[in-house]
Amino acid sequence: MKKASDAEIILSYLQLRSVWRVGDRFGMCGQSVHERLQKLNIKLFNSKLTKEELDRIRDFYKKGFYAGDGALKQFSKEMDRPINTICYMAKQMGLSSSCRNKSAERFVESLKKNGSWPRKGGYSRTKSGKRKDLNNQYFRSGTEANFARYLKMLGIKYEYETKEFVFMDIKRGVIAYTPDFYIPKDDIYYEVKGWLDPKSITRLKRFKKRYPVEFSNTRIIKQRLTGKDYNIFLDKIGFKFDQIIDFKEIEKHKRTIPNWE
């Protein structure tokens, strides 16, 4: 692996806020990243949470929230701490279960009041069908179609659902995986997710175990990415941090992309 430049180290650290994650990205140990940043006079983020911060996390989780309502993201900004750090500490303090109980209560209240799950901006999970502006190709959701338009804008040639990976040792349940997009030029797969269901998690876990090389070349794009999603992707499935993409980063370009849904 090519040695990372000082600029790459600094930029990655500002993005990931962790010497260990920067180390994973460039094949280095966290201590080496730490030493290089110190030599470059880069101020390091304080990784140890204070008692006040831990108290704030405890109060926030006890109030309760549900995934996708934006509360965790806003709290992360106020704390100036990454979402995954907050979720990890909450888990260590045994707060996750109490949060889920509060979330269930709010879910029931919403059903009684509105008759449906509260969705920000009236988001619909699926909008399958053919898209005339994309050579009349069929897509399973508007999010997938929009990602295809994004690739088209960049001039990147892609294949849609052309690669199938069969789990030969599995006889029942989830027995294969087909990534949404494949970029032949870069040998990269992209999986676009609007929401995570148990089957999707099982499918990705089995894919990682049986096709580790292809898994390492896979990027997961999640709409309305939450701290809970990070925990699932990193801890439960086994993605690395730089394999996870927030769909909002792509959505920023929607005004320059024709036929965006």
Encode pLDDT of 157-214 as tens digits.
Answer: 999 999 889 898 887 888 899 999 999 999 999 999 988 889 999 999 999 999 999 9
- The pairing of strands 159-160 and 137-139 is unpaired
DSSP 8-state class, residue 120: G
Question: 151 with 158: CB under 8 angstroms?
Answer: yes
Is the confidence at residue 257, as pLDDT, over 90?
A: yes
What are residue 176's DSSP bridge partners? 166
Residue with tokens 């897509």: 139
3 state DSSP class of 144: helix
Can you give the pLDDT at residue 123? 38
pLDDT value, residue 89: 79
The set of residues, in sequence order, having a beta carbon less than 8 Å from that of 113 and lying 6+ positions away, is none
Q: What is the reported pLDDT for 29?
A: 76
Q: Compute how many other C-beta atoms are within 10 angstroms of the C-beta atom of residue 151.
A: 18
Indicate the pTM of the whole model: 0.53
Please write the tens of the pLDDT for every residue from 95-104: 754 454 454 5
Percent of the chain predicted with pLDDT > 90:
41
Determine the Cα–Cα distance for residues 251 and 254; give it in Å rounded to an integer: 5
